[in-house]
Amino acid sequence: MDIKKTPIPVKRALKKLGQDLCDARKKRRITMELAAERASISRTTLSKIERGDDGVSLGAYAKVLFILGMIERLAELADPKLDSLGLELESYNLPKRIRISRKKKEWE
């Protein structure tokens, strides 16, 4: 098995992200040339981003999100408050009971 092979769900997610960025750019009536210039990337890199290429850096994707006015979504991507699985797992680790330590009792 090739370790460097991109998992299919990752490919799908990047393809959707690329298409969504392409649609957002078109809705704003921004040409590829202008978008690439504003993002300080080449037109070729923008084309790869809009195809969902996994070889393009996250920084390049972030620049495109920024010029489209969508950068706040990237900042919230892995927000712990929105991590439903993490929150659920955390709730399983809650203690069964709470005991007051002897040291604390002595201070009161």
59, pLDDT greater than 50: yes
CA dihedral 67→70→75→79, nearest 10 degrees, is -170
Per-residue pLDDT band for 1 (boundaries 50, 70, 90) equals very low
Contact 18, 51 (CB under 8 A): yes
Tell me which architecture the domain covering 8-77 has in CATH.
Orthogonal Bundle (1.10)
- Give the other-Cβ count within 10 Å of 61's Cβ: 21
pLDDT for 99 equals 79
Neighbours of 34 (CB within 10 A): 14
| Amino acid 12: pLDDT | 97
Q: Distance between CA atoms of 71 and 33, rounded to whole angstroms?
A: 20
Domain residue ranges in the chain: 8-77
User: What mean pLDDT value characterizes the chain?
Assistant: 89
Q: Determine the Cα angle at 56 with ends 55 and 58, to 5°.
A: 120
Residue 41: predicted pLDDT: 98
Q: 17: pLDDT confidence band, cut at 50, 70 and 90?
A: very high
Q: Report the candidate in 30, 28, 22 with the shortest Cα–Cα distance to residue 51.
A: 22
In this prediction, residue 20 carries a pLDDT of 97
Q: What is the pLDDT of residues 32-47, one digit of tens each?
A: 999 999 999 999 999 9
Check: CB of residue 55 under 8 Å from CB of residue 14: no
